[in-house]
Structure 1
Amino acid sequence: MRRPLRTHGHRTAAAVVLACALTAASQQGAQADPQTLTEVQARLQSLYHDAEVATDKYNAADGKVTAQRKRVSALQAQIRTTEAKLTRLTSMAGAAAAAQYRGGTVPAELQFALAGDPGRALDDAGLALQAQQNTQNLLTQLKTTKSTLDTSTDEAAAELERLQAGRRAMAKQRRTIEQHIAEAQQLESSLAAQERARLAALEQRESDQAQAKWESTGILKKIGTDATPAGRKAIAFAVKQIGKPYVWGAEGPDSYDCSGLTSQAWLAAGVTIPRTSEMQWAQLKHIPIEDMRPGDLIIYFSDASHVALYVGGGNIISAPRPGRYVYESPAASMEILGVVRPDA
């Protein structure tokens, strides 16, 4: 279940508390209370998590807008094709009627009686009547088709506008969160170098402890060690991206967010997967952790807000968060929700 985003008021309060904690840590220098650093870390992680959730929502909204825009464009193309057919058939029908008119006003019965070959005249008359009827039927069908397409296009355009409005709302929400993150990063950078080192060491220690606990279950003896050919291609792509910066909403080639990296890695392997971590969790095949193999995707947190590519040996490659770079790290350093397989 998705963890709801906090209101702007709650975020402001969080930013104030974070500012106080960071300021206290900075002022205390080397003697900063470890509990203060823990609070700083927790606040930063919460802000980064919420920012990633907001980014995932924006990416999903952006994907829907892009798909709907293509649908509207396709419908408009169908309308243009139908209109061209209508114009051509209407012209043909008009030309046929004019030709018949120029042929005279002798009744068909008399033309039949005067014809040198009455049987052929009857066949010609029947064919002409059938052709005329077929043309009229086709014109009617095309007019009906165009009317239906006009209605569908209007509805699709209205849906596109609704989706665009949703995307604008998501963008505004994300900008608010980005502002808080920028403030947090600025405050974090104000810490003394020794305090920043202690904060980094605290994060590393927690990561190592979580990984050790995970490995102590014997999980590495159960999970697979061989990737599929497509999985190896996805991993090779991800390895080449190591060192590139995390940027919200980016999907390469110079920067990535978490799901931008995983979706592009599998695209390089010839497999198209959903753009966001939430959709990857919802739409890809779920795999028990003990059946995981290199190339699978590990989804993190209860709201599926983060994703990484499992590369074997208990490690992942991921785009972690703002201020960081694509890197290889322990798979269990974050709360694992589950595993999905793109090439199932």
Structure 2
Amino acid sequence: MNRRRCATAAAISLVCALTVQAVAGQALAAPEPPPQAPASVTVPGEMAPPPPSRSLEAVRQQIDALYRQAASATDAYNLAKERTEKQSAEIVQLAQEMAEGQARIEDLKNRAGAAARAQYRAGGLPPEAQLALVDDPQLFLDGVGRIQQGQKATKDLIAELTQTQADLAAYSKDASAHWERLEASRLKQEKAKKEIKAKIAAAKKLEDKLEKEELQHLLQLEQQAQYRAQSQWLDSGILDEIDGRASEQGRKAVEFATAQLGKPYVWGAEGPGSYDCSGLTSQAWAAAGRGIPRTSQEQWRLLPRIAVKDMRPGDLIIYHADASHVGMYVGNGAIIHAPRPGRNVTVAGAGSMSILGVVRPDK
């Protein structure tokens, strides 16, 4: 590892040591290998037990897969929740427009009724017939003008009434469609919620079966896997190419994310006391004055993409093939992210997980 990479590793280790979640932050440093267990005694005729480390590694991979699935379901939940809130607001707006349209129709009907009553009081004769009985030329000319104005007003009144009734019918149709979409989003939200709870419960059930020493060893295995991935990423020479400086908004987003270090991961949370991965990144950029999509999958789908070598602090790194995780790049090969249930917002190696790509909110 060249001098720059050594300096980078040292800088990241220092930041990690200062985080509230010290254990999680040490994932970038190479952990000490676990002590070797004494050889077990095998009774003749019985199968030898699997090596403890290999068995525990399988458990770690299973737990990691469950939390990954929970993260993907969390994205689905967050997206459905966002759409539900938007559709509810649209329905409220449509209801208001329908009420205003109905009031407008009543007003137009009242005006039409007033005109009819005025004609009745005039003896039931239409204005044209009344005009024919006028002897005074000036009154005749004035009457022609009033009739023309009245005809235009009547025509406008009928046109406005017809359009308002059509608008009201359209509002009603839109409201029905919105209700259907709202119900569909609610069902998706509920389904995702159940899946999240099931996956987290399954992961916790596996963890609860482990002894204290096994849990510590499990954390070491997790750190070792992250360290290997980060080392491989650094060994590619990628930091020699990355030299971007944060924009003003990017700097503010990084400052916000840094201030959240140590706060717990909670699925569906957007702060201020806890976050999930995309809750942290979306709120950080909101604090910087830039609204971005709520979920990591929508951030990947909608935000401008850039090459990894061109990234700068504040950019978002999207992880895994299903875009189910996101972290904020903070420079020197590190990210700040909310990892998973049971972990806190922490600093980690940008290459410690499988990178799908990078997006830039303020491009």
Q: Does 1:94 align with 2:113?
A: yes
Residue 192 of structure 1 corresponds to 212
Segments of 5+ residues of structure 2 without an aligned counterpart are: 1-36, 41-50
Structure-2 separation of matches of 1:200 and 1:298: 24
Deviations for 1:140-162, whole angstroms, at most 9, x for unmatched residues? 11111111211121122122222
AA of the residue aligned to 1:241:
Q
Match runs of 1:40-189 below 5 Å = 40-106=59-125, 108-114=128-134, 116=136, 117=138, 118-187=140-209
Distance (whole Å) between structure 2 residues aligned to residue 143 and residue 110 of structure 1: 33
CA deviations on 1:208-235 (whole Å, 9 max, x unpaired) are 2221221122211211341001101110
Q: Does 1:274 align with 2:293?
A: yes
The total of aligned residue pairs comes to 314
Contact preservation (8 Å) 2:131, 2:144: no
SS in 2 for 1:302: coil
Q: Which amino acid aligns with 1:152?
A: D
Residue 239 of structure 2 is matched in structure 1 by: 220
Offset, 1:110: 4.3
In the alignment, residue 167 of structure 2 is paired with which amino acid? T
Identity of aligned residues (%): 41
The answer (yes or no) to whether the contact 1:244–1:326 under 8 Å persists in 2 is yes
Kindly indicate whether the alpha-carbon contact (under 8 Å) linking 1:112 and 1:121 is maintained by their aligned counterparts in 2: no
Bigger Cα displacement from structure 2, 152-161 vs 319-328: 152-161
CA contact (8 A) 1:225 1:313 kept: no
Aligned equivalents of 2:232 and 2:125: distance in 1?
100
Compare relative contact order (CA 8 Å, sep 6+) and give the higher one, 1 or 2.
2
2:23 is matched with which residue? none
Shift of 1:191: 1.6
SS of the aligned residue for 1:114 comes to coil
Contact 2:207-2:215 at 8 Å conserved across structures: no
Cα distance, 1:186 vs structure 2 = 1.9
> Are the equivalent residues in 2 in contact too, given 1:318–1:326 (CA < 8 A)?
yes
Matched residue, 1:11: none
With the length of structure 1 as denominator, give the TM-score of the two structures: 0.86
Offset at residue 129 of structure 1 (A)? 1.7
Q: Which residue identity lines up with residue 227 of structure 2 in the other structure? A: D
> Matches of 2:204 and 2:218 in 1, distance apart?
18
Q: Is the 8 A contact 1:52 1:306 kept in 2?
A: yes
SS of 1:57's partner is helix
Deviates more, 1:243-252 or 1:42-51: 42-51
Q: Is the 8 A contact 2:119 2:125 kept in 1?
A: no
SS of the residue corresponding to residue 84 of structure 2 reads: helix
In 2, Cα distance between equivalents of 1:82 and 1:47: 52
Root mean square deviation, CA, Å: 1.9
- Runs ≥4 residues deviating over 6 A: 28-32
Opposite residue 159 of structure 1, the aligned amino acid is R
Letter in 1 for 2:212: A
- Greater Cα shift, 38-47 or 204-213: 204-213
Counterpart residue number, 1:321: 340
Unaligned runs of 5+ in 1: 1-27
